[in-house]
Structure 1
Amino acid sequence: MILALTIAIILGTILGAILYGRRQQKAAQSMTEWAVGGRRFGVFIFWFLNAGEIYTTFAVLGISGYAWAFGAPAYLAFTSVSLAATVGYLLMPRIWAAGKKGDLVTQADFFADHYRAPWLGIVVGLAGIAALIVYVQIQIVALSLIVRLTLGEQVGTVPAAIIAAGSMLLFVYFAGLRSAAFAAAVKDILMLVIVIGLCLTVADRVGASSLIDVYRLAQDSYPGIGHLPGLQPDAGLSTTWLMTAALNVALGTWVLPHMFQLCYSSGTLSTIRRNAIWQPLYSLSYFFIILLGFAALLAGTQPLGGDPNAVLIEFVAETYPSWAVGLFAGTACLLALVPGSVLLLTAGSIFSRNVAAPLFPAMGERTSLFVSRGAMIVSAAISVYLTLGGSESLVEIGLSAYAAIGMLAPGVFLAFLWPRAHAGGVFAGIVAGYIALLLPAAQKFWNGYFPEWDHGLLAMAVGFIVTIAVCLVWTPARTAPQPASA
């Protein structure tokens, strides 16, 4: 029953996504059609594709597992999503306008076009691909867990990860972003129904009288679970950590390369703004997701190896009938497949347009699509390799991805705020930011002088300072950037 329902949901969605995406014959022949949906997405599709990025395995499996393991630090989800929507309302229209004016497809296109520096596009493209590969790792970790739930623990970690990566590639390999948009709508609707269904029945399964009573029982059974620093005070997940991590996620959300491409896909400016206004409503769903993590704790759920990523999967498998487990498993697969496929599509687009094309200028449209699809496969393979060697929670992997991409934030924000910013200063900021993030001596310094601060935000601040300083003291000739679209 579990396997049959899971396969039916996945195959049905994949088939519908491919058929929807290929309705227009040119969908597989034009890079603009394949990578940004021809810039024609309306309010409905754009909502599920863009705002629906909130409903991923990071949100459902990662945050519920974080609530189970740490308690109150899972509130990071509430704060970061709302802050990101505020930033998006101001930034998304400008990204969209720049993309429409310059016929841009990738984030690296924006850097190369605005700063009039193709070489900067290559640098940004490589940095973006690296961050995307880390982010894909989240989806493969989660999907591997679901594959093993449905096929059995006898399925090894390697085959499960390969199956997960291969399924992601199927979504967008042929029809591109349009197929992912269809699948995003399916998975969001299904997940909303399932989360509501679980929450309406979860109180009975843990001996509570109501949803609110689940929180009361959790607080009584595990004192400190409802306020920071949570169940593990030594983990450093304090109020300081929450504020700095939430700010880093909010600023980094719209710097992620795939979010640039999603912005480009909108048909109109009003679609962008409506999406940003209503998007914070999605953050209310985290109340139920965190509640499910607390319920799993009350139920005594203990996933294999204490893996927090598997908590919700294990809890549902232990306490609900097989048909409900099948529905949950199939929908949870979509939570990984849809964002994972968009991330891989973005990585392939960037490699083709911003790494390969500058080296081979004569490359035609068909060759570019071929290279993009090949780069998707390579990116998926690297993500599988990273998955096999890691044991972090989905939230920790996600914060690592936001920290990695945060080095591009100065170049994005200053493009719209400060005409004096130039390619040399942006590059210096990127290098300084990565040094501040990755150098062991820098990490030791942050831990000593800024304890419990999110290192990604600190490194981003270093990048801003260095970028501004370089741009103030040095203005290279003939490289003044063009004015960013308002």
Structure 2
Amino acid sequence: MDDVNGVELTIVIVFFVLVTAMGFAAARWRRGQSLMHLDEWGLAGRRFGTFTTWFLLGGDLYTAYTFIAVPAAVFAGGAMGFWALPYAAIAYPIVFLVGPRLWSVSHVHGYVTTADFVRGRFGSRSLGLAVAVTGIMAMMPYIALQLVGIQAVLTVIGVKGTGLAKDLPLFIAFAVLAAYTYTSGLRAPALIAFVKDALIYLVIIVAVLYIPTKLGGWGHIFDSAQTSLAKPNPATGKPSGSLITNDMTHWAYGTLAMGSALALFIYPHTVTGTLAAGRRNVIKRNAALLPAYSLLLGFLALLGYMALAKPDVAAAVRAAKNPQLAVPTLFDHVFPSWFAGVAFAAIAVGALVPAAIMSIAASNLFTRNVYKEFLRPGASPAEETRVARIVSLLVKVGALVFVLAFDKTLSINLQLLGGIWIVQTFPSLTLGLYTRWFHRWALLAGWAAAMVYGTVVAYQQHSPAQKHFAQSTADVPFLHHTAYIALTAFVINMIVVLLLTTIFKAIGLPVGGDETDPADYTADADDPGVKELPELVTD
């Protein structure tokens, strides 16, 4: 590690120590009488206002995926990487349909997870279990993506090597993350999100204003990127991409955007951030305010073109055979060391915040919908919280398995793999917020068929670098188009649900009980029947 940039590494360590201290201190921030309750540890007392929720959801949604994976996709394939922009634009109107209703019914009944709601709505423990298992599965590759972001930063700084020497800093970072998540719960990432978002906005504003002046302006950036993308890829013999999509990629582009939009606000970590809000209107305000991050996403994607336009950066990334290094290498070559260190700290902290929220969301699912539902029905709130804390540690270990087992040269596939699974909960969760017409067994059968299809087809995708799970698009049966596997599986899901619901109702199979009432879906914090929150600590 003789080539480590000491200035960059020092600045990253300083920020890491700062957010670690904030993470542990968050245990006393606006806490209730005890953290030994999932409402307190896993949802921070359900008290966050508009300002805090905006930062928390921003920390949820704009992660190392934003800083590393999206520009890497643009660097590797050009315009196809920009599908992330329309998906964000589509997703925010969807949150108006999902967020407020889910918040209300969850506050009335004390639901902590999406699986809590599905079980109560359709009277099916099995369907609730299916939703819980799917959520936990989807979180693993998503957390792994955050690890990939930190790993890319450490690689460019010069922390290299083989075996344990290469991965030890990563393990240390996530051990500390696990410690303050265990101690402080959701309050830790919520507090750190203020620092994370401030750093990201600072870095991207400087980047889009400063870097083009060093590269000859935007015209030169786009011309150079087009020239670079037009060169044949050594592995395929075809151009890597272009600045615009073509007839061969339109379906893939559109279905990636639509499928990801369906998934965004039903991921367990986004639901956790939503349920932590103190009032129903907080969700509506954030749906209107969060698109400010989409502008940030567009600028970040352009960093992929900037990396292509700087020959030494493009050469270094291609020599490493790792597009994930595009943005860190660009910052390392263009910025002075001190500001590159700040930028790398933004990426690292941008990985730690969502990883913490995701692990909490996954542990909430296991505790409420596996442990308490099937193993210990009489578990006390304190016992639930103890189990959730332990599981939050195990989830991070599971994410490390993804990092070590999968090729990381195009890490965006980790996020898209999670999307393939989580979209299959859309019928029971999102549609279930509006109707109970679907039969519970039909929903379970549709989920199973789609999960099998999506996982098998994703497993079959290969590339020169990765034997399985190499991409998240595949040919659609009978249509001769390439599309996001999640959306194809979702269509299969809905066909099975609609067909079997009609059959099951016709033959009179029991539909199960519904513990919710229509008024539950519009309730606010002050309405009668809404669960009261524990008192805040006043000392």
Question: Into which bin does the TM-score normalised by the smaller protein fall?
Answer: over 0.9
- Describe the superposition over 1:200-256 as per-residue Cα deviations: whole angstroms up to 9, x where unpaired: 2112332x1x34553344345655632014xxx9xx6x1111111100000011221
Change in Cα spacing, 1:251 to 1:440, as seen in structure 2 (3 Å) is closer
2-structure distance, mates of 1:337, 1:383: 13
Alpha-carbon deviation of 1:465?
A: 1.7
Conserved? CA contact 2:156–2:325, under 8 Å: no
Q: 1:9 Cα shift? A: 0.9
1:172 is displaced (CA, Å) by 1.8
1:287 offset after TM fit, Å? 2.9
Structure 1's 41 and 25: CA in aligned 2 closer, same or farther, altered over 3 A?
closer
Q: 3-state SS of the aligned residue for 2:476? A: helix
1:412 to 397, 407, 429: 429
Q: Distance in 1 between matches of 2:157 and 2:175?
A: 17
Alignment equivalent of 1:465, drawn from 465, 475, 495: 495
Alpha-carbon distance between aligned partners in 2 of 1:167 and 1:19, rounded to the nearest angstrom: 14
In structure 2, the CA distance between the partners of 1:440 and 1:82, relative to structure 1 (3 Å rule), is closer
CA-to-aligned-CA distance 1:43-102 (integer Å, 9 cap, x gap): 100001113433211111111111111110121121011111111122111111111111
Q: How many angstroms does 1:6 deviate by?
A: 0.6
* 2:375 corresponds to 1:364: no
Letter in 2 for 1:433: A
Following superposition, the deviation at residue 27 of structure 1 comes to 5.3
Segment of structure 1 superposing worse, 317-326 or 129-138: 317-326
Q: Is the 8 A contact 1:84 1:250 kept in 2?
A: yes
Alignment correspondent of 1:453: 483
- Alignment partners' CA distance in 2, 1:213 and 1:307: 24
Alignment of 1:367-386 (within 5 A): 367-386=383-402
* 1:435 alignment partner AA: V
CA distance in 2, matches of 1:440, 1:53: 28
* Conservation of the 8 A alpha-carbon contact between 1:407 and 1:434: yes
Describe how 1:68-79 pairs up with structure 2 within 5 A: 68-79=75-86
Three-state SS of the structure 2 residue aligned to 1:28 is coil
Aligned residue identity for 2:20:
I
- Which residue matches 1:17? 23
Aligned pairs for 1:294-333 within 5 A: 294-300=305-311, 301=313, 302-303=316-317, 305-333=320-348
What residue is the counterpart of 1:110 in the other structure? 117
For residues 239 and 483 of structure 1, the distance between their equivalents in structure 2, rounded to whole angstroms, comes to: 43
Match of 2:293 in 1: 282
Q: What percentage of aligned pairs have identical amino acids?
A: 23
Q: Structure 2 counterpart of 1:421, which letter?
A: F
1:89-238 mapped onto 2 (5 Å cutoff): 89-150=96-157, 152-154=159-161, 156-206=165-215, 208=216, 210-211=217-218, 213-219=220-226, 222=229, 225-229=242-246, 238=249
| Residue in structure 1 matching 2:93, options 86, 90, 95 | 86
Equivalent position SS for 2:99: helix
Deviations 1:304-352 (A, max 9, x none): 5321111111121122221112111111111110001100011111111
Distance 1:29 1:483, change over 3 A: same
Q: Give distance in 1, aligned partners of 2:398 and 2:365.
A: 16
Counterpart amino acid of residue 213 in structure 2: D
Question: Residue 512 of structure 2 aligns with which residue?
Answer: 479
What is the alpha-carbon distance in structure 2 between the residues aligned to residue 239 and residue 255 of structure 1? 25
- Say if 1:328 and 1:122 are closer, same or farther in 2 by CA, change over 3 A: same
User: Which stretches of structure 1, 4 residues or longer, exceed 6 Å deviation after superposition?
Assistant: 441-445
What is the count of residue pairs matched by the alignment?
Answer: 478
**Structure 1 letter corresponding to 2:9:** L
Per the alignment, residue 8 of structure 1 pairs with 14
- The TM-score, its normalising length taken from structure 1, stands at 0.92
> 1:172 and 1:27 mapped to 2: Cα distance?
16
How much has 1:448 moved relative to structure 2?
A: 5.8
The secondary structure found in structure 2 opposite 1:104 is: coil
Q: Is the 8 A contact 1:144 1:164 kept in 2?
A: no
Q: Secondary structure at the match of 1:453?
A: strand
Q: CA contact under 8 A between 2:60 and 2:357: conserved in structure 1? A: no
Report the CA distance shift for 1:212/1:182 in structure 2 as closer, same or farther (over 3 A): farther
Q: Distance in 1 between matches of 2:92 and 2:343?
A: 28
Rounded to whole Å, the distance in 2 between the matches of 1:4 and 1:161 is: 16
Matched residues in 1 for 2:358 and 2:368: separation?
16
Of 27, 35, 38, which residue of structure 2 is paired with 1:31?
38
In the alignment, is the contact (CA less than 8 A) between 2:475 and 2:481 conserved in 1?
Answer: no
Normalised to the residue count of structure 2, the TM-score between the two structures is 0.84
Structure-1 residue corresponding to 2:353: 338
CA distance in structure 2 between the aligned counterparts of 1:29 and 1:86, rounded to whole angstroms = 35
Query: What is the CA RMSD across the aligned residues, in angstroms?
Result: 2.3
* Helix, strand or coil at the partner of 2:161: coil
Moved more, 162-171 or 292-301: 162-171
Output the CA distance in 2 between the equivalents of 1:8 and 1:164. 13
8 Å CA contact 2:159, 2:166 repeated in 1: no
In structure 2, how many angstroms separate the alpha carbons of the residues matched to 1:112 and 1:351?
14
Match of 1:434 in 2: 451
5+ residue gaps in structure 2? 1-6, 231-240, 461-473, 523-539
Q: CA deviation at 1:132?
A: 0.7
CA 1:152–1:104 in 2, change beyond 3 Å: closer, same or farther? same
8 A Cα contact 1:351 1:372, kept in partner: yes
The farther-off stretch of 288-297 and 217-226 is 217-226
Match of 2:526 in 1: none
Quick check: 1:81–1:250 contact (8 Å CA) kept in 2?
yes
SS at match of 1:439: helix
Q: Contact 1:14/1:170 (CA < 8 Å) preserved in 2? A: no
Pick closer, same or farther for the CA change 1:186–1:381 going to 2, 3 Å. Answer: same
SS of the residue aligned with 2:430? helix
Separation of aligned partners in 2, 1:186 and 1:270 = 25
Partner of 2:70: 63
Write the distance in 2 (CA, Å) between the matches of 1:137 and 1:63: 15
Counting helix residues as a fraction of each chain, which structure ranks higher?
1
How far apart are the structure 1 equivalents of 2:433 and 2:195? 35
- Deviations 1:18-62, CA, capped at 9 Å, x for gaps: 323423363522210111111111010000111343321111111
> By how many angstroms is 1:143 displaced?
1.4
Equivalent residue, structure 1, for 2:534: none
